[in-house]
Amino acid sequence: MTKIDIDDFTVFIGKNDAGKSTILEALDIFFGNCNPDPDDSSVSDPNKCVKIGCIFKDLPQEIIIDSSNPTSFSKEFLLNKNGFLEIHKLYKCSISKPKCSEAYVIANHPTAPPCADLLQQTITKLKKIAKDVGVDMSTVDQTKKADLRNVIREAVGDLEIRQSSIPLLKKVDGQSLWDCISKYFPVFALFKSDRPSTDQDSEAQDPMKIAIKSAIQQQQEQLQDVTNMINAQVQQVAEKTVEKVREFSEDLANVLTPKVINKNWDTLFNVRLTGDDEIPINKRGSGVRRLILLSFFRAKAEQDAEINNENGIIYAIEEPETSQHPKNQKILIESFLDIVENQGCQILLTTHTPVLVRNIDQKYLRYITSNENGPIVVSCDESNSSEISRNLGVLPDHSVKLFLGVEGRNDINFFKLISKKLHDDDPEIPDLDKAEEDGQLVFIPMGGSSLDLWVSRINGLDRPQFYLMDRDNEPPLEAKYQSQYEKFVREGHTAWITERRELENYINPNIISGAYENYEGRGEPFEDVPLLLAKAIHESSESSNSWEDIVNDSAKLKKKESKAKKILNKNLVSRMTRELLEAHDPDQELIGWLQELGSVLRQ
């Protein structure tokens, strides 16, 4: 069995035919969107079976598996040894139309009789078992199976908990455990690479049809007026027709009653998509069509998630780079990361394109390869970085003039925007966004666990390396990354540590307070700018939660700080001017870094 660790954002890389798409298709089968083909089983398996298992975390605190009786996965002993929900499904591929033949939960479950199979019992049987084990039935709500199971377990005492396989497909009182549990699954939506991508695809048409139905519902009164008018006019014609029939036969006319059959309004409409220039989308380039269909794909998945009680979404997208310009590929990755961070969903991608891989943190990469025992999926680290680089061509040595390492995506946005703004007034300052687009500069995301992999990729390419790290700690404390800084310097690279807390502290506070009147920052070198902006945004909102409530909730605070960082590094930094920068950074620390980068790029 091949095991795969899935993150909130996971990118599968490997050679063609390594099995990247197979993983996504297996998940599509597991979530019930399709069935396997007869040829999907392993050629070495005489039983011609396929087993797919998924492990879920972040489970709901309360579930309903019997009528309306609340319980939980833990109370029903449906979690594995790590406290997660683990489900396996078995498919028989020896028949012409394979389907799921078995489904079961792998869990630490009671094995002591009669507790091993309580979930498969009817309420009548549970009552009998409860009496047999000595439960005082006068204290039990005998209409609730969850309560009956609980008192039976309490009466037995030693449940002999062991790892067990609990079947899910057996029907009890008209429904199976699978029916009850699967409704808590996220929506799984697969966007395949080998598709025509036209505006008649279901991803495009389904949201449009829903929009048409919604519009029709909002105009019911006006449409009824139209229907009545049509009925009146048709009625007049019908009555005249009846009069003519009477001329032939009075009896025939007496049994004729004209009726107008009104079909659904929404069936009268079909949708074609055109751009601003009235060119049909279907006549646009394949890359544009695919981007538009990808957006419709997301819209449809979100609608499906709403129907399914907002259980979340897993987007699986094959080769998003298909037909896309390298710049669009980078934009796609940024968009996917924003979706994961802001919408709480998961995204799975497959790719074998270096442009995408070089913009992704190592922790998100899963490398698919094989050994004598078959396919394996491994996380990327320093031990396999050379193999990955060799197989993917991660960093071809062509027009690259320098590598610039910064701590993360927000810092990359900061440098791109401020360098572009300053370049307009001073050509000596390089436009780093254009330099990256031209292939002269490669940003190195040093955050997370990606730095070692990056360094191993680029050492030996004979290109200058620059690294910028936030100080974070206020003197006299040592800078947070002092040891890494010293290592870079020893290796002969150029490294800098900010004199301020972090890059956001180089944004003139007048810009921030001009956008948010209640911003309390004063431009101090070590004040927490993202935190102060997050507070200003929250307090200017209509939220009923106090800022103290947010501070005491680490998850909410982290999300708000992340949003503030994006605003600072995508919106507010673009308002900086040379004058505002020099007023706030009189030592011209930031300009000095940019000038040094520019001197290398001009060589």
The tens digit of pLDDT for each residue in 93-150 reads 888 888 899 999 999 999 999 999 999 999 999 999 999 999 999 888 888 999 999 9
Name residues whose C-beta falls within 8 Å of residue 146's C-beta, 6 or more positions apart in sequence: 65, 66, 69, 70, 71, 75, 76
Is the preceding peptide bond at 464 cis, omega within 30 degrees of 0?
no
Distance CA 511, CA 569 (A): 12
Convert the pLDDT of each residue in 444-470 to its tens digit. Answer: 877 654 555 566 667 667 789 999 999
pLDDT value at 203 more than 50: no
Mean pLDDT of 472-486: 93
Q: Which strands make up the sheet holding 494-497, listed edge to edge?
A: 441-445, 402-406, 465-469, 494-497
Task: State the pLDDT at residue 282.
Answer: 55
* pLDDT bracket for residue 66 (50, 70, 90): confident
Task: State the pLDDT at residue 544.
Answer: 87
Mean pLDDT of 231-249: 69
Distance CA 120, CA 164 (A): 14
Task: State the pLDDT at residue 199.
Answer: 43
Task: State the pLDDT at residue 600.
Answer: 93
Mean pLDDT of 236-244: 70
* pLDDT bracket for residue 205 (50, 70, 90): very low
Q: Which of 4-8, 120-124, 142-146, 247-251 has the lowest mean pLDDT?
A: 247-251
Task: State the pLDDT at residue 334.
Answer: 78
Max Cα distance, the chain (Å): 110
| CATH superfamily ID and name for 1-20+187-199+272-394 | P-loop containing nucleotide triphosphate hydrolases (3.40.50.300)
Distance CA 425, CA 519 (A): 29
Mean pLDDT of 541-557: 89
Convert the pLDDT of each residue in 287-333 to its tens digit. Answer: 566 666 666 666 666 666 566 555 778 888 888 876 666 677 777 78
pLDDT value at 20 more than 50: yes
Q: Quick one: tokens of 80?
A: 């594995």
Q: Which of 200-209, 318-327, 411-420, 553-562 has the lowest mean pLDDT?
A: 200-209
What are the respective helix, strand and coil percentages of the chain, to the nearest 5? 45, 15, 40
pLDDT value at 231 more than 60: yes
Task: State the pLDDT at residue 317.
Answer: 86
pLDDT value at 395 more than 80: no
Task: State the pLDDT at residue 594.
Answer: 96
Distance CA 450, CA 360 (A): 9
The single residue listed with the structure tokens 């009189």 is 586
Assess contact for 20 and 84: CB atoms under 8 A. no
pLDDT higher at 159 or 444 = 159
Name residues whose C-beta falls within 8 Å of residue 358's C-beta, 6 or more positions apart in sequence: 394, 395, 442
Distance CA 358, CA 13 (A): 12
pTM score above 0.75:
no
pLDDT higher at 31 or 360 = 31
Distance CA 558, CA 550 (A): 9
Q: Which of 6-10, 44-48, 441-445 has the highest mean pLDDT?
A: 6-10
Distance CA 43, CA 598 (A): 58
* Secondary element (H or E) of residue 444: strand 441-445
Mean pLDDT of 20-47: 87
pLDDT value at 370 more than 70: yes
> What are the distances in angstroms from CA 15 to CA 3, 383, 385, 559?
19, 18, 15, 36
Q: Which of 102-116, 160-174, 398-412 has the lowest mean pLDDT?
A: 398-412
Assess contact for 355 and 394: CB atoms under 8 A. no
Task: State the pLDDT at residue 471.
Answer: 95
Task: State the pLDDT at residue 385.
Answer: 63
Task: State the pLDDT at residue 196.
Answer: 46
* pLDDT bracket for residue 195 (50, 70, 90): very low
Closest to 570 in 3D by CA, of 337, 411, 422: 411
